Amino acid sequence: MGRDRNPRGLERRLGANPLESERDFIARSRLPRFGSRVAFDRRRFYQVVAILAAVCAYATIVLGGTVRGMDAGLACLDWPLCNGSVVPNLGDPRVAVEYAHRLVAAVTSLSLLLTAVLAVLWYRRDLRLVLLSLVAFGILVAQVWLGALTITSSLNWVIVTIHLALGTATFAFGLLVALFALRLPPVGAASPRPIG
């Protein structure tokens, strides 16, 4: 005996022509074509960039600790280049870790710069968010300068200590920016009540 090819009445649910309905479904579920107008969610974009900044700031601290633990602080003898090139020879694990620390710090810098610029452009009425993002970026600028000074001073312990302290402050303010970004109301909604 043959099996029933349509045991649950699939044709009845989809309509008279199941292939046509499937084609319609596929057409409805396609991604928009390049150049088509797609709604851009500023709030979601800002939240993603702010979270990226906080995660990268934390990763930079972890990689900095790894650099210190591997005694790789002077694996790259110059700054901003690493041993005279943009991409050094990564055969030495110490150079690879120091270079990874610099790359993640660069992503942190770009994402914190973007959060500060977008806070000023898009959320200028939210003074707390604007101030937090500007302070986070300001601390980061000092942090990057101290990172360069750490290399050029041959790992002076005072500079290394301040570099770590500012790295921690960068993460703290980056995390605050991310937390405030997550509280941003959807477009058209009322502003959230202040914390505290």
Tokens read off for 44: 């979601």
Structure tokens, 154 = 């041959």
* More confident position, 118 or 71: 118
From the list 122, 96, 119, the residue with the least C-alpha distance to 174 is 119
> What is the rounded average pLDDT for all residues in the chain?
83
Which among 111, 127, 136, 125 is positioned nearest to 50, based on CA atoms?
111
12 compared with 93, residue with greater pLDDT:
93
Output b/e per residue, 65-104; b: 16+ Cβ within 10 A.
eebeeeebbebbeeeeebeeeeebeeeeeebbbbbbbbeb
pLDDT at 4 over 60: no
Task: Name the band, by pLDDT with cuts 50, 70 and 90, for residue 73.
Answer: confident
* pLDDT at 6 > cutoff 70: no
Among candidate residues 184, 173, 170, the one with its CA nearest the CA of residue 123: 184
Whether the pLDDT of residue 40 is over 90: the answer is no
- How does pLDDT run across 48-68, given as a tens digit for each residue? 999 999 999 999 999 999 998
Report pLDDT for 122. Answer: 93
Residue with more model confidence, 121 or 72 = 121
32 pLDDT above the threshold of 60: no
pLDDT at 171: 96
Between 152 and 2, name the one with better pLDDT. 152
pLDDT at position 133, please?
Answer: 96
